Structure 1
C-alpha cells in the first residue's frame, strides 16, 4: 500500500465502541417494535460483553425507556453511553461515520446519505455525523463532508488498501459515472490503492441495491467470507454461483487467490408473501468476537462454524435477527464500529 498517514482500518482492528440507534415508534419499526426491541437488547447484551456501546436516542423519554429495558435484562450499564440526536431510522452502518485513522487522530468521512438512492426520507439521518461531531462525541477527529452518495454497507476494506464493492450499488447511485471514475474517487477519499468490483450478487428483500456487507466480507489473512447458495432450486442460486466464481477469480496484492469461506444458505423466510434477505454475511466484528445474525434456521450452527474458521481466536456469538430482516437489513446494517481511541 502507498505510504500515507491516513488509513481506513479493517473492522477486526481494535475498537473503542459500537454505535447504534434505539428503535422507537417514530421509526419504520413502529408496527413490530416489541420484537425489534428484543433484538436490540440481545445485541447490546452481546456487545457489552466485549466493549462499550454508544446508543443514539431521539429524546430523554426514549433514553429512560431504553435504560430501563437494558437494566432489567442485566446489561452492563457501565459500558453503555447514550447520546441524544434526531434520526429518521436506525441503519447506522449507512448514516454513521466512516472513520479513517489520520496520523495520531481520526478523519470522519461524512458522505451524503440519500436513503439508498432516495427510496425513503433521510434528512435527519444525513445530518447525523455532523450533529454527533458537534456534540463532542468523537475525540481528536475532524469531519470531512463529501458531496457524494455512499453508504458504509456498500464498501468493505481489508485495512491494507484494498476495497471491495459491488458495481450494481455504486452504478445505481451514480449512473453517469464510469467504473474508472468511481474507482478513482473511492481510492482518493478512502485512501485505498485497489478497488475490486463484483458484478453479481443480490438478495431478494434487500433494498440497498446489493450492498457488499450482505454478500462478501474480508477476513484476516487475505480471506473472504461470502454468502453462498447450495440450493439449485432457489431463485438466488445462479447469481450467487456467478458471484462465487467472481470471488474465486480475485487475487490478493501479491497475485494469489484469496482463502475463501462460503457461508451456508438459510431456508427462505417469507413474511406476508415477501421474501426476506437472511444473509449470514451481515455479521459484526467486535473486540474478541464476531456477532453473527441468527435466523432460527438449522443453518445457523453451520454459519457459526464457518465464521469460527474465518476468525480463529474470536468467540462467535449468535444474535437473533429475524425481526430485523422484515425491514430489509440485518445485524451489520444497524451498527457502526468506532476505532480504538475515537470515543
Structure 2
C-alpha cells in the first residue's frame, strides 16, 4: 500500500475491522523478505497477553530491533486500556541456507482447535519455546515440528495456513 500513509492505514483498519486501537511495532527479524511480518515477532495469545521474540545475544543483528519492539510493547495498552502482559521467547540460533540467514522464529506457530504447531529447529531453545507456549495455551497440546526446510520458503506454520479459521 505505497499510496497510504500511517494515518490512512489506521483509518481503513478501523473501518474494515471495527477496531478502535492499533498497535505498531518497528522492524522485523533478519531474513524476513516482507520487512517485518508480525507473525515472526509478536503474537496475541489471549485478549491481554502477547508473546514476543527476544534475542539475548547483543552481537546478533536481531538483538536491537527486537529490543526496540519490546520497549514499544511495554508502553502499549489493550483496547480496554489495560497494559499488555508480555511473555518473552528467546530466538532460535541463526539458521542459514546458501549463506543467507533465514527468518527462524518460534512466533510463527499455528493455533488449532486442540493443538499448537510450533516451529522447531533442533536447538536447545526449542524446549524453552515449547514450555513457554504450553504455559500460554494450557488446554492445547504443543506439537514441535522441525521447520528448517520450511524456512527455505521464508516462513513457517502461520505463514502456511494464511490465517484460515480453525
State the TM-score, normalizing by the size of structure 2: 0.93
Structure 1: any 5+ residue segments left out of the alignment? 1-173
1:183 aligns to what?
A: 10
Asked whether the equivalents of residues 114 and 139 of structure 2 are also in contact (C-alpha less than 8 Å), the reply is: yes
Q: Which entry has the higher C-alpha Rg, 1 or 2?
A: 1
Higher RCO by CA contacts (8 Å cutoff, separation 6 or greater): 1
Asked whether the equivalents of residues 220 and 311 of structure 1 are also in contact (C-alpha less than 8 Å), the reply is: no
Distance 1:275 1:181, change over 3 A: same
> Are 1:275 and 2:127 an aligned pair?
no
Q: Structure 1 CA distance, aligned partners of 2:84 and 2:76? A: 7
2:72 aligns to what?
A: 246
2:133 aligns to what?
A: 307
Q: Deviations over 1:77-122 (max 9, x none)?
A: xxxxxxxxxxxxxxxxxxxxxxxxxxxxxxxxxxxxxxxxxxxxxx
1:194 aligns to what?
A: 21
Asked whether the equivalents of residues 118 and 144 of structure 2 are also in contact (C-alpha less than 8 Å), the reply is: yes
Structure 2: any 5+ residue segments left out of the alignment? none
Asked whether the equivalents of residues 27 and 35 of structure 2 are also in contact (C-alpha less than 8 Å), the reply is: no
1:10 aligns to what?
A: none
2:43 aligns to what?
A: 217
Q: Structure 2 CA distance, aligned partners of 1:287 and 1:176? A: 38
Q: Structure 1 CA distance, aligned partners of 2:34 and 2:145? A: 22
Give matches, 1:154-193, under 5 Å. Answer: 174-193=1-20
1:326 aligns to what?
A: 152
Shift of 1:233: 1.3
Q: Structure 2 CA distance, aligned partners of 1:244 and 1:221? A: 18
Of stretches 184-193 and 205-214 in structure 1, the one that deviates more from structure 2 is: 184-193
Shift of 1:337: 4.6
Q: Structure 2 CA distance, aligned partners of 1:242 and 1:232? A: 13
Q: Structure 2 CA distance, aligned partners of 1:301 and 1:197? A: 29
Asked whether the equivalents of residues 21 and 78 of structure 2 are also in contact (C-alpha less than 8 Å), the reply is: no
Shift of 1:311: 1.5
Q: Structure 2 CA distance, aligned partners of 1:242 and 1:220? A: 22
Shift of 1:336: 3.4
Q: Structure 2 CA distance, aligned partners of 1:332 and 1:247? A: 21
Give the SS at the match of 1:196.
Answer: coil
Asked whether the equivalents of residues 201 and 215 of structure 1 are also in contact (C-alpha less than 8 Å), the reply is: no
Q: RMSD across aligned C-alpha pairs, in angstroms?
A: 1.4
Q: Structure 1 CA distance, aligned partners of 2:149 and 2:82? A: 40
Structure number with higher strand proportion:
1
Q: Structure 2 CA distance, aligned partners of 1:336 and 1:232? A: 32
Give matches, 1:2-41, under 5 Å. Answer: none
